[in-house]
Amino acid sequence: MKAMKMMTIALVAGLSCVLAGCMSSDTATAAPAPVENVSVELAPGRTLQSAIMAAAAHRRWLPAKQADGTVRCTLSQREHMVVVDVVPVGEKAFSIRMVQSNIPVRKYDQWVNNLSREIVMRASR
């Protein structure tokens, strides 16, 4: 009986160490996942830049056109802020590049992927 109790304690302690090791990976220093050369199908009369502007506004990003065709998008929520450049690659593709961010990488990836999906969806409408 005592041996079974000791094995259970050892098993629980071992699993705790394994789980703690898995959870302690430092995502703050990891690089965000790149969003590169995303292809879009443009609806008749729709331009890539108009799709980017509409998608950003719909997702509550503040879009601003740059001179080179890039759209700088800023998203602020409470004390968090992300600034990205949505760069057209040709007429039917775009890339998203981080300019500034003060949020964890996983949250940045989520926000940027949502923006990317919205651009693709708005382009086809």
User: Can you tell me the distance from the alpha carbon of 125 to that of 45, in angstroms, rounded to the nearest whole number?
Assistant: 10
Model confidence over 60-79: pLDDT tens digits?
Answer: 999 999 999 999 999 999 99
Domain at 28-124: CATH code: 3.30.310
Whole-prediction pTM value? 0.76
Name the strand (E) or helix (H) holding 122: helix 105-124
pLDDT of 54 higher than 60: yes
pLDDT band of residue 33 (cuts 50, 70, 90) is confident
Buried b (16+ CB within 10 A) or exposed e, 3-17: eeeeeeeeeeeeeee
Mean pLDDT rounded to a whole number for the chain: 85
User: Residue 123: which of 68, 45, 65 has the closest Cα?
Assistant: 45
In the chain, where are the structural domains located?
A: 28-124
